[in-house]
Every structure is written in structure tokens, then in C-alpha cells.
Amino acid sequence: MGFKFIEHTADVVIEAWGETLERAFENAARATFEVMTDTSRVEPRVGREIEVEGFDLENLLLRWIEELLLLFDSENLLLGEFKVERIAETQEGYRLNATVRGERFNSEKHESRTHVKAVTYAQMKIWKENYTWRVRFTLDI
């Protein structure tokens, strides 16, 4: 698995990683939904194309996770598959294009763990270390 949870008193701090920045962002999304449910039980029945932009990489990560949380809040859509096709630098900052898949929350099938209110900049950091991209961010629960 390309993520871990870091102990924190009130929130959830996640550190995710991957060989590429795209994989690190995928693992950040997966970790976010693992806080909410067991993603291994989420079937890829519904797909969505996602495009988000950020003025820097930290803002892009925040907007990416916000967009996924919005899908859950507005459509009750639990996500279990995340494919970031591309993170590209633009004149305004960065753009992320991805495909995500999941299914509507069903209390008889899906474990309800912790409700995530928001993603925040607290402890946020994005860096490359020994050929591995790493991202750290905090979820407000």
C-alpha cells in the first residue's frame, strides 16, 4: 500500500507515496476513502472524469481531495479506484486529469468508518525523496 496514517489528536494526517506524482495523488485519494470505508468492498460500478487545477502542487492536492469528497457528499458515491492520467504544469499552475470509479454507499454492504468533513493545508507537504514522490495532508473529521 502506498500510504500510512500518522497519529494526530483530533484529525487524520495521511502520508501517501508513489513512483510518480500521479501515483502519490492516487494513493492520497485511496487513503482518504479508507478513512471512510473499506475500499476493497467498493465495486467500480460508476465512473467519473475529474479535472482540477491548482495554483501550486499543494493547492492541486487540496482541490483533488475536495473534488472527491464532494462526489461523496453530493452523490453518496464511495470511490475505490483512482487513476490519475496526468498532472501537467500550466501557465496558471497545475492541472490534474483523472478517472475515478466506485458505487453508491449502501449501509448493508459498506462499513461506515469516519466521516471526513474536509481536507486542509495543515501539515501539508509534497516532496520527492529517493525516487519516490510523497504527499502529506490532514483530513478534518
Determine contact, residues 35/49, Cβ cutoff 8 Å.
Answer: no
> Is 140 annotated to bind ligand?
yes
Residue 16: count of CB within 10 angstroms of its CB: 24
Residue closest to 31 by CA, chosen among 141, 127, 139, 140: 139
Residue 53: count of CB within 10 angstroms of its CB: 14
Distance CA 105, CA 12 (A): 22
Q: Which residues are annotated as a binding site for Ca(2+)?
A: 11, 140-141
Q: Which residues are annotated as a binding site?
A: 11, 140-141
